[in-house]
Amino acid sequence: MYSILSVATTITLLTSLLIFLKWGNVECKGSNPTSLLTFCAILFTSGLDVGLIMFPLVEFPVYAAEEQYSFANPLAIEFGFWGFLVWVFYFLTTFYFCVVEPKVRLFEIKAVKLVNNLVIIATCAFTGFLFLDSVPNYIEDINDFQKFGLVGGIVLFAVYSSSHIRYVKLLSVSSALLFLLLGLALAVDSGVSLSEFVKTSSGIGEYFSNIQRFFTPVSDYHGWYLFWWFSWSIMIGQFVARFVTPMKTWQLFAALLTIPSVALALWFTTLYYYFINELTVAPVLTLAMVAIGILFVANSLDSLIRLYTDNLGIGIERLGLVTYVLLNWVLIYGLVLLYQFTPIKIEWVGLVVIGLYAVIYCLLFRSRHQFLALR
């Protein structure tokens, strides 16, 4: 399974490099273009979830203790699992849906469309399940009734938010701003000075000096992350491509690799300072982390729900608001429970997505004359 993953990751990186070199000056423009900052906010909050907020403080001790991560410090490992190189996945699919798909329309083929939307729905539900599974680590003494009720409420909120694209945009921008404010509040609470912060952040350099190690899984856990990124990649590219402000391909490449990575670097550095200095996060800030983590879950869910309902033509215009909300809430929450009570894994979804990549590559090869003529 990891051999397939390694080959798929390598091909994805090489394809992205080819696009950057050969079609770097091709203009990318979405069907509903926004400003660059709004686009990045939508990309950042749609393509990430509560794991970004809460995982690092749990993962740092693991990365510090286990031999397989000894080639770099925990901050560099964390950044490698979330930042820079992995955003190439989103660059590739965003470019495809901006520039290539409108010409070749491969995702309108019935079988491809069916598999794509099944993947979207399955990954959407996994996002809810991941929060359901990990929420006891964030909220102490929460019982099962409260846990299931909270997740059901989040899914309901996300379904309603997905009913209009302006709600999706507003929630994304608001969540991104609140995330930045939370990072600032944590930094102030830690008492870190600017020089100490810069010194701590320098640890990320070990990621770049070992970047080749992150092309393929460095551990089973890293493999899980890479499957997770694959499972998200096509649908996030498909969703955010519509919001791309007019820019050259090389600019899109630079924006996707750097802008989210800067935000991630600042966030991880702040949490890493807490870890290495054995500081405790203030209760009010822990509560804020949970609240913003919930917003990130809602952001991920509403963008995916909006995507598959658009693809399948089951929006509020056809169903009406009440039917739309009830239908999608039952579908997604039901699948969240299916993840909870069955052995379904996100790795399986990732493998399906890799298979879908292979199909698209083959179909593009058949249409290569049209593809290679892109201007």
User: pLDDT band at residue 46, thresholds of 50, 70 and 90?
Assistant: low
Quick one: which of 180, 211, 173 has its CA closest to 84? 211
Domain ranges of the chain: 2-372
pLDDT at 174: 82
pLDDT at 238: 87
User: pLDDT band at residue 49, thresholds of 50, 70 and 90?
Assistant: low
- Tokens describing residue 12: 């994805």
- Tokens describing residue 109: 């083929």
The 3-class SS string of 336-371 reads HHHHHHCCCCHHHHHHHHHHHHHHHHHHHHHCHHHH
Cα–Cα distance, 101 to 255 (Å, whole number)? 21
Using a 10 angstrom Cβ sphere, with 0-12 exposed, 13-18 middle and 19 or more buried, the burial of residue 278 is exposed
pLDDT at 146: 86
pLDDT at 272: 96
CA 115-121-126 angle, to 5 degrees, is: 120
What's the mean pLDDT in 305-319? Answer: 86
Asked whether the beta carbons of 329 and 157 are under 8 A apart, the reply is no
pLDDT at 372: 62
Cα–Cα distance, 108 to 110 (Å, whole number)? 6
User: pLDDT band at residue 78, thresholds of 50, 70 and 90?
Assistant: very high
Per-residue pLDDT tens over the stretch 187-236: 999 999 999 999 999 999 999 999 999 988 889 999 888 988 888 888 88
User: pLDDT band at residue 296, thresholds of 50, 70 and 90?
Assistant: confident
Q: What pTM was estimated for this model as a whole?
A: 0.86
User: pLDDT band at residue 370, thresholds of 50, 70 and 90?
Assistant: low
Per-residue pLDDT tens over the stretch 228-258: 888 888 888 888 888 898 999 999 999 889 9
Structural fold of domain 2-372: Hydantoin permease (1.10.4160)
Helix locations, the chain, DSSP H: 2-22, 36-46, 50-65, 74-82, 87-95, 101-104, 110-138, 144-161, 165-190, 194-201, 205-209, 220-240, 249-276, 283-312, 316-319, 321-341, 346-366, 368-372
Q: Given a cut of 70, is residue 369 above it in pLDDT?
A: no
pLDDT at 266: 93
User: pLDDT band at residue 329, thresholds of 50, 70 and 90?
Assistant: very high
Mean pLDDT of the chain: 87
| Single-letter amino acid, residue 292 | I
Q: Given a cut of 80, is residue 183 above it in pLDDT?
A: yes
What's the mean pLDDT in 44-67? Answer: 82
User: pLDDT band at residue 128, thresholds of 50, 70 and 90?
Assistant: confident
User: pLDDT band at residue 40, thresholds of 50, 70 and 90?
Assistant: confident
pLDDT at 142: 83
